[in-house]
A = this chain, B = another copy of it.
Amino acid sequence: MPEPSIDVQRLWDSLMELARIGATDKGGVCRLALTEEDRRGRDLFVRWCEEAGCSVRVDAMGNIFARRPGRDDSLAPVLSGSHLDSQPTGGKFDGAYGVMAALEVVRTLNDHGIETERPVEIVSWTNEEGSRFAPAMVGSGVWAGAFDLDYGHSRQDADGVTLGEALQAIGYAGGSEAGRPRPSAYLEAHIEQGPILEAEDKTVGIVLGVQGIRWYEATVTGQDAHAGPTPMTGRRDALLASSKMIVAANQAGLGQAPDGRATVGVIRNKPNSTNVIPGEVFFTVDLRHPQVQGLDAMETALREHCDAIATESGTRLELKRIWDSPPVAFAERCIDAVRAGTQDFGYAHRDIYSGAGHDAVYVSRVAPTGMIFVPCEGGLSHNEEESATPDDLAAGCNVLLGALRRLAGA
């Protein structure tokens, strides 16, 4: 297969122009889903797609599809994209890269007059981040049938505005049926959002699947008491017990090295007063592993150690699993296409699992799916300092071009 390659500068310039919409003082982006900033980002994307000769349609969840016809336009399309919304203090590349990379592939196909057997569609999914409307990935979730449309429309932001109202307000409540047509394959390019590729000096991550995720809520109940007159022995200190449990959660993750992850991200302490022994602590646990067995082993270790800590500290522990997203294995056909695209260009690469959720997780329920990762500086994401190099971004985009040409029949 000959190797036309994408335009490094054009991809970078498109990302930088898009990043001006919602730009923050610290070099990041605040483009929350379905805000005025998101509308401006969508408008720019739609204009670029139309300039690239695509026909644009918007579905009832506001997901945007831009179609480049195939030689046989009755075939199911190959779909590629990501999302344009950001975290409140997000970066320039999370999501935006996957959309701009798919656009750059279409532009490159145009430049070289390459026809594909199947249509190629670029997608921008609505509200991937979940920062304005919970849950995350609700646009691709409704599209894939994980949620129904009424559920999607009824999601509310902190001010009580529904997602359906916000779609109307920015003019992106589309008419096309969510979920149709089904694509023949889906590819999503994304920054890694972790440090592994950078640390190992790899340019491309061939994503085999997505780690399973389990979320837990823990409430530890002790007895609040005055810090001065209460002797050390006999205290039932909910924060001390929780601190030991946080260390135990970390050990549960370390016990499943190198793939396991265990994180306590949230803690709330009552009454949270300097001179009062805490009586009640709430914390969350986030466990991730690419295999169910790994998740099970971490959960067992977590429960056993935390129960023992509760018993010896005279506290009561309630530990509930509130979310269970099973591991996802991507389609062999898509992984093979990504691997072949990587080999076309000879990039240093490694197989990798995604530790984060992506629209690709829901899409994989209804279509063969694959992902391409590129390094980001220090693994930082969901952060205004998120950074990636033009060359790495171009490399991932070239891999997408090669994989997509195979899947679409160029």
Contacts and interface: CB of A to CB of B under 8 A. Distances in A.
A211 interface: yes
Contacts of A225: 194, 379-383
Given A240-B250, A263-B277, A265-B274, A355 B229 contact: yes
A170 interface: no
B286 A274 contact: yes
Contact of A230 (B213, B261, B275, B357): B261
A258 interface: yes
Interface in A205-231: 211, 213, 215, 223-231
Contact of A356 (B199, B228, B265, B271): B228
A184 interface: no
A237 B234 CA distance: 30
B231 A195 contact: yes
Given A193-B226, A237-B250, A383-B225, A274 B284 contact: yes
Interface string A235-250: 0010110111011001
A253 interface: yes
Contact of A244 (B199, B234, B243): B243
A348 interface: no
A372 B196 CA distance: 64
Total copies of this chain within the assembly: 2
Contact of A239 (B267, B268, B273, B278): B267
A194 B246 contact: no
A263 B235 CA distance: 10
A74 interface: no
A277 to B, nearest CB: 6
Nearest to A205: B229
B274 A354 contact: no
Question: Which of A229, A230, A269, A278 neighbours the largest number of chain B CB atoms within 10 Å of its CB?
Answer: A229
A246 B266 CA distance: 16
A194 B250 contact: no
A355 B230 contact: yes
Question: Which of A195, A257, A274 neighbours the largest number of chain B CB atoms within 10 Å of its CB?
Answer: A274
